[in-house]
Amino acid sequence: MVEAPDPHTVLVTGGAGYIGSHTCRLLAAGGFRPIAYDNLSTGHDWAVKWGPLERGELADGTRLREVMRKYRPAAVIHFAASIAAGESVIEPLKYYRNNVAGSLALIEAMRDCAVPRIVFSSTAAVYGNPQTRLLSEAHPLAPINPYGASKLMVETMLRDAAAAHGLIANILRYFNASGADPDAGIGEDHEPETHLIPRVLFVALGKEREASIFGADYPTPDGTCVRDYIHILDLAEAHLCALKRELPKGSISVHNLGTGHGYSVKQIMEVARRITGHPIPVSIKPRRPGDPPELVADPALALQELNWRPTRSSLERLIADAWAWHKTRHG
């Protein structure tokens, strides 16, 4: 006999990570009890402040079942994953192991422990090269890197598990998470850091000599890649909106989380120069394998169905918030 889930308890895999910790903060503010499940391979124990930390591997089904039976969560928000598109081209099997095999262990444990709902971190990388200027959820799914392919495989597993086992799955396809909540003492801290905004800010901090532009010959207005940058708190908030949405057993929903506005690598650097007051010298490097020229969301479905509004995602605000965080962390 499985005990009924506690409607206020949410298990957050990757809860010690960048998006996970910001989501735990908003969950706690919204009356939920977040349980962070993390192996601390890339997350930080200092980022777990709003509920207990349970250390464990995602692939360890025994440990997952133990934690699920202890807390009886009503939902899992699943962040734990390898996340660098460029690295995934060089080390694809790491992505299939951590993202696909890890998620399989999690979904099996959820089925066995009767955890009814999952909110899954998917990615714009499932779309591949855009065939339309804005990417809607109906755009063909044709990833061009193993990171995107691994996330698409998990989406497929969730679809089948929902149909067979009555699981409810909210799939959220993120565009480029950035910014920080410096008031909460948390922010982005990857080692090594591969993401554009922190790497540019490291130059302003004097940690790096110059910033790199990976390719200036793309078919975009200034030749550099265009991305849709979304403030981490807007992104985190969408998880609460998704969790609160009433859905019947066995249903899947898919939403893009982006702003609908794209900015190039050069535009990011320009705003970073203005905010930091540092000249930020750059050098042009070869293209990074696995990079589509442009990824910009059509967020209409999320706005309508999740009752969600990104309110903090101006480029100025998210770079200023990231700058405040990195100065505290590394300054």
Q: What are the tokens at 102? A: 């890890």
Residues in 129-148 at the binding interface with ligand UDP, rule: CB under 6 A: none
Look up residue 76 and give its DSSP letter.
E
Q: How far is the CB of 125 from ligand UDP (least distance, A)?
A: 7
b (16+ CB within 10 A) / e for 114-138: ebebbbbbbbbbbbbebeeebbebe
Nearer to ligand UDP, 107 or 216 (CB): 216
Q: Determine how many CB atoms are found less than 10 A away from the CB of residue 157.
A: 18
Look up residue 186 and give its DSSP letter.
B
CA atoms lying within 13 Å on the CB side of residue 18 = 23
Which has the closest alpha carbon to 308: 248, 251, 228, 233? 233
Q: How far is the CB of 135 from ligand UDP (least distance, A)?
A: 13
Among the listed ranges 67-75, 133-141, 192-200, 231-239, the one in contact with ligand UDP (CB under 6 A) is 192-200
Estimate the crossing angle of helix 18-29 against helix 232-244, to 10 degrees. 60
Contact by Cβ (8 Å): 256, 302 = yes
Among the listed ranges 68-76, 108-116, 208-216, 231-239, the one in contact with ligand UDP (CB under 6 A) is 208-216
Q: Does 326 bind ligand UDP (CB under 6 A)?
A: no
Q: Which of 21, 88, 176, 259 binds ligand UDP (CB under 6 A)?
A: 176
Per DSSP, the residues of 296-322 read -B--HHHHHHS-----S--HHHHHHHH
Estimate the crossing angle of helix 315-330 against helix 265-276, to 10 degrees. 60
Q: Does 225 bind ligand UDP (CB under 6 A)?
A: yes
**Length of the chain in terms of residues written:** 331
Q: How far is the CB of 245 from ligand UDP (least distance, A)?
A: 26
Nearer to ligand UDP, 105 or 213 (CB): 213
Q: How far is the CB of 3 from ligand UDP (least distance, A)?
A: 40
Residues in 84-103 at the binding interface with ligand UDP, rule: CB under 6 A: 85
**What is the Cα–Cα distance from 209 to 214, expressed in whole angstroms?**
16
Residue 18 burial class via C-beta count within 10 angstroms: exposed 0-12, middle 13-18, buried 19 and up: buried
Sign of CA dihedral 182, 188, 191, 192: negative
Q: Does 196 bind ligand UDP (CB under 6 A)?
A: yes
Q: How far is the CB of 195 from ligand UDP (least distance, A)?
A: 4
Q: Does 214 bind ligand UDP (CB under 6 A)?
A: yes
Catalytic sites, residue numbers: 147
Q: Does 297 bind ligand UDP (CB under 6 A)?
A: no
Q: How far is the CB of 40 from ligand UDP (least distance, A)?
A: 22
SS3 34: strand
Instruction: Please count the residues of this chain forming the interface with ligand UDP, following the rule CB under 6 A.
Output: 14
Contact by Cβ (8 Å): 236, 19 = yes
Nearer to ligand UDP, 27 or 280 (CB): 280
Residues in 1-30 at the binding interface with ligand UDP, rule: CB under 6 A: none
Q: Which of 41, 132, 194, 304 binds ligand UDP (CB under 6 A)?
A: 194
Residues in 232-291 at the binding interface with ligand UDP, rule: CB under 6 A: 265, 288, 291
- End-to-end Cα separation, the chain, in angstroms: 54
Q: Which of 94, 139, 165, 199 binds ligand UDP (CB under 6 A)?
A: 199
Q: Does 213 bind ligand UDP (CB under 6 A)?
A: yes
Q: Which of 55, 57, 92, 212 binds ligand UDP (CB under 6 A)?
A: 212
Contacts with ligand UDP, residue ranges (CB under 6 A): 85, 176, 194-196, 199, 212-214, 225, 227, 265, 288, 291
